[in-house]
Amino acid sequence: MMKKFIGFYDYTVVLTYIGLTSSIFGITQAIHGDYKLAICCLAFSGICDAFDGRIARTKKNRTEDEKNFGIQLDSLCDVVCFGVFPALICYLLGVRGIIGLAIVFFYCLAAVIRLAYFNVLEANRQKSEGGANKEYRGLPVTSISFILPLVFWFQFLMSDVAFLWLLHGILLLVGFLFILDFPLKKPGLKAILTLMAIVIVTVGIIFAFTKYRLPKASDKNSPIVEDLIEDIYETENS
């Protein structure tokens, strides 16, 4: 009988698991057309990621294996939460076609490259310095969980077509900033709490007032769903 599971199980990784679960649930909701709930899940995952490192560092007797496990786990979850998940939301909202798919691919690749590079640097830094890092190199992938909800303020100021092109531009710009090497000071607790409050208000407004939504599967008039149905039909009958 197996007495032990692979991995390390303690309170230091719980918040990371909660954030991942939130993003996976958000992906399912995005696929089914509930864009508002998907955005909420993305923002919540970002909040979890903002505090998981602080919680992990409260355990002073972590072994080197436990620290390295936390680094790898955090990055692997970030690939899903802040790489694949926001790219999928943008794709479903209309970032498609040759240009759109190229941007989606670039964004996901940039996120993976950044996270792999961070793993190398952070593992080495932990051996020599320990503690929390004082600054970022480039834009952290978690930032998309705050940027994307805030972008939807612009849907009240522009047409749907203009807003769609804005999504193209934001995804491309954020992906570029992921891999651009520039120093960025880490925000303190007060700044994080302020940003969280802004995002929470933004998500509330999205729920209450937004007119922009993902199409429901039964919405036959939607170009996005119509294209998907046609693609599936053509594939099955080819």
How far apart CA 158 and CA 81 sit, in angstroms, is: 28
Report the chain's mean pLDDT, rounded to a whole number.
80
How far apart CA 132 and CA 123 sit, in angstroms, is: 12
Q: Is 1 part of any domain?
A: no
**In 3D, which of 81, 16, 70 has the Cα closest to residue 43?**
81
The pTM is what? 0.80
pLDDT confidence bin for 27, thresholds 50/70/90: very high
């729920």: which residue's tokens? 207
Per cent of the chain over pLDDT 70 is: 80
Q: Is 5 part of any domain?
A: no
Asked if the model's pLDDT at residue 225 lies above 50, the reply is no
Burial of residue 85 (number of CB atoms within 10 Å: 0-12, 13-18, 19+): buried
Q: Is 3 part of any domain?
A: no
Range of the domain at 89: 11-236
Q: Is 2 part of any domain?
A: no
Q: How far, CA to CA in Å, does 133 sit from each of 55, 89, 121, 148, 151? A: 14, 31, 11, 25, 28
Per cent of the chain over pLDDT 90 is: 34
Q: Is 6 part of any domain?
A: no
Q: Is 75 part of any domain?
A: yes
pLDDT of residue 224: 47
Q: What is the mean pLDDT of residues 108-135?
A: 76
Q: Is 4 part of any domain?
A: no
> How many domains is the chain built from?
1
DSSP string, 139-156: --GGGHHHHHHHHGGGGG
CATH number of the domain that residue 159 is part of: 1.20.120
pLDDT tens profile 161-195: 888 899 999 999 999 999 998 888 887 778 888 88
How far apart CA 107 and CA 172 sit, in angstroms, is: 6
